[in-house]
Structure 1
Amino acid sequence: MSRTDRAGRVIAAPPATVYGALLDRESLEAWLPPDGMRGRVERWDPRPGGGFRMVLTYLDSTDSPGKTSESTDVVDVGFADLVPPERVVQRAVFEADDPSYAGTMTMTWHLAAAGDGTEVTVTATDVPPGIDQADHEAGIASSLANLASYVETAS
């Protein structure tokens, strides 16, 4: 049975600004890694049918072993749909030997104007069973908090 994880938050920046941060390589490296991780984009092609490869490294892997290696998660992300400034749909595949991380997870970032800001809702479908739901939702929320901090200080 497929699983869906969700998180959302209102960000004090217009949808176009938030959307831009979803499709900028340096921005993604700065805000996408959740607390306790850092990220590096190895490949970048920001168009429908394009995508990116990100290496996420745990700052302390003692309690959070990586999916790809002891201290890393490597994920190949394809851009399935880009609708400025409303939606970004990504298809993510983790590089892992453990079959519990296999499959393609779809991440839909929906942006809606909310007063002077943007309500950002992230929905992850077909989440691999090896990813703990509470940890995943906390990670998405952490990334959203980083995104808010990133775009709100830039505005």
Structure 2
Amino acid sequence: MPRTDKASRRIAAPLDRVWAALIEPDALAAWLPPEGMTGRFEHFDARPGGSYRMVLTYSDASDAPGKSNADSDIVEARFTDIVPGERVVHEVDFVSDDPSVAGTMTMTWTVTEADEGTRVDIVAEDVPDGISASDHAEGLASSLQNLATHTEH
């Protein structure tokens, strides 16, 4: 049964810098992949109705085989809502023959000003059953850590 996962973090960077990292492809490719993965975009169009295709490659797939092929997860995503300086909403599908990861996951990234920085909240709705809750929580936390590292300079 699909579920909702959440994560949040306060980042010691101004909201405009954090916001830019959420919608600029070079920044996203740098920080979004969780630890142990790299990412690259095959296309990217950040506007409501726009889309992207991202290939996430495991540095060592022996412990975690990819959902799309032996060493990669490929995601097709659509931007459904972008409110500058507030939130970005993506509908995400894994490219996979595995029915346990089928279905559209909606990810909402919200930024708000916080003491000495920016609060980032992620809500992932309709997470496919084949994505373990603990692995997803670890991945979201890793991406948030990467975002902090990328923007806190």
Give the TM-score normalised by structure 1: 0.96
- 1:113-143 Cα distance to aligned partner (Å, 9 max, x none): 1022111010100000000011001101100
Aligned-partner Cα distance in 2 for 1:4–1:124:
5
Cross-structure match for 1:49:
49
Aligned-partner Cα distance in 1 for 2:111–2:2:
24
**RMSD across aligned positions (CA):** 0.8
- 1:68-109 Cα distance to aligned partner (Å, 9 max, x none): 001000001111100110111110000000101111000000
Cross-structure match for 1:69:
69
Structure 2 alignment gaps of length 5 or more: none
Structure 1 alignment gaps of length 5 or more: none
- Residues 16 and 84 of structure 1 are in contact (CA less than 8 Å); yes or no, is this contact kept in structure 2? no
Equivalent residues, number: 153
Cross-structure match for 1:34:
34
- Structure 1, 110-119 or 56-65: larger mean CA deviation: 110-119
Aligned-partner Cα distance in 2 for 1:94–1:53:
10
Q: Deviation of residue 112 (structure 1)?
A: 1.0
Aligned-partner Cα distance in 2 for 1:114–1:51:
30
Q: Deviation of residue 16 (structure 1)?
A: 1.6
Aligned-partner Cα distance in 1 for 2:90–2:137:
17
Q: Identity percentage over the alignment? A: 55
Q: Secondary structure of 1:126's partner?
A: strand
Aligned-partner Cα distance in 1 for 2:112–2:14:
9
Runs (4+) of structure 1 exceeding 3 A deviation are none
Give the TM-score normalised by structure 2: 0.98
Q: Secondary structure of 2:73's partner?
A: strand
Cross-structure match for 1:112:
112
Q: Secondary structure of 2:141's partner?
A: helix
- Residues 80 and 89 of structure 1 are in contact (CA less than 8 Å); yes or no, is this contact kept in structure 2? yes
Cross-structure match for 1:81:
81
| Amino acid corresponding to residue 61 of structure 2 in structure 1 | S
Cross-structure match for 1:135:
135
Q: Deviation of residue 2 (structure 1)?
A: 2.7
